[in-house]
Amino acid sequence: MIKLLTIITLLISSSLSAKTIDGVKEGANGDGVPVSNITMRDVQTPIFIRLGDRKRVFPKDGGILKDIFTSDIVARAESPIASSITGVSGHCVENVSISNVNISYPGGGTRKMTDRQVSEQVKDYPENRMFGHTLRAAAFYVRHVKNVDFHNVKVCANNPDARPLFVFENVQRSPETEGLLNALKQVPQKGFMFGHHDAPIYGIGWEGEQDRSDVKSVCGAYPAVMSFDLGGIELGSDQNLDKVSFDVIRKEVVKQYQRGGMSTFSWHVYNPLTGKDSWDISNANTVSSILPGGAEYSKFQGYLDKVADFLKSITTSAGVTVPILFRPWHEHTGNWFWWGKKLHGTAI
């Protein structure tokens, strides 16, 4: 068993990949692998984490690969082979954290690459090319993984890439998320869920009163669904575009979860190209500017980081992260927001 292997400060140049751990290819165990402060130049694949099951040395049971913490990585890749985190069916890589990572790569991925099926290759030697010379994702391909966290990961393509940055297959969700999904699947058999935007924040003739909602006043109970907006959080504001404190929103979402309800978030994000609000449709190139290789790609990644940080901060006193439904691109079939139907062209 490999336990608490630490790799700190390393320069890698002209290599196939930086393998976080290699001993698990035969079904061994790897537990506790912090890797940090790595600079990579002209590598094919910056991050390659693989739990294999060749069973040549340990023939009885599959291996274990868990508690992997990778941070502060700067990498310049020379191939379109994305980084990957993969286990095998029945044996997941567990508890992976990827943070503060900056990767540049050639780009050039096509939609055809996205459609290809990636074989399991259970018995193959673990290396970055074991799944082929391309992957469905541009940045990270993740399969057979339980509990994976990406924070402050920036990816820059030198050329346009049609692949999604991240592809997740058989990635296990938290029990709370699974509970919410199962509950939603049962709703059509019973009826429907009634919702109200900013329900506990303000109403007819009142604002900011504790434990109040117009729906509750009329019906005797809070709405099953509450919605809130994240507009403004990308700019570091402590209030959203409706002048509602994000601290208050956080508390109300926890309360809604504890009473058995559900919360959703829309995001009227400011126009990253012009700096104006969501309704600014003066420049038709905004959407293409936030895609890999676009002028505002890095800025928009920072916007996403702020959203992710806030959503992760919505936790109960017991430390449970509250599951929510995130629905950006509000009314995207209209033409009054910068992400509207006639404004993104063929960028999406």
Task: Compute the average pLDDT of residues 268-275.
Answer: 96
The count of other CB atoms within 10 Å of the CB of residue 207 is 11
Tokens in use for 37? 């402060």
Picking from 51-60, 116-125, 226-235, 262-271, which range would have the lowest pLDDT averaged per residue?
51-60
Beta strands in 173-302 (DSSP E): 195-197, 202-203, 206-207, 225-229, 262-266
Residue 262, pLDDT score: 96
pLDDT tens digits for range 87-105: 988 889 998 999 999 999 9
Q: Residue 118 pLDDT more than 80? A: yes
Cα angle: 342, vertex 346, 348; to 5 degrees = 90
pLDDT tens digits for range 153-184: 888 888 888 898 899 998 888 889 888 988 99
Confidence of residue 4 (pLDDT cuts 50, 70, 90): very low
Q: Residue 196 pLDDT more than 90? A: yes
Picking from 87-91, 228-232, 328-332, 342-346, which range would have the lowest pLDDT averaged per residue?
342-346
What single string gives the DSSP state of each residue in 278-323?
TT--S-TTHHHHTSTTSTTHHHHHHHHHHHHHHHHT-B-TT-PBPP
High-pLDDT (> 90) share of the chain, %:
54
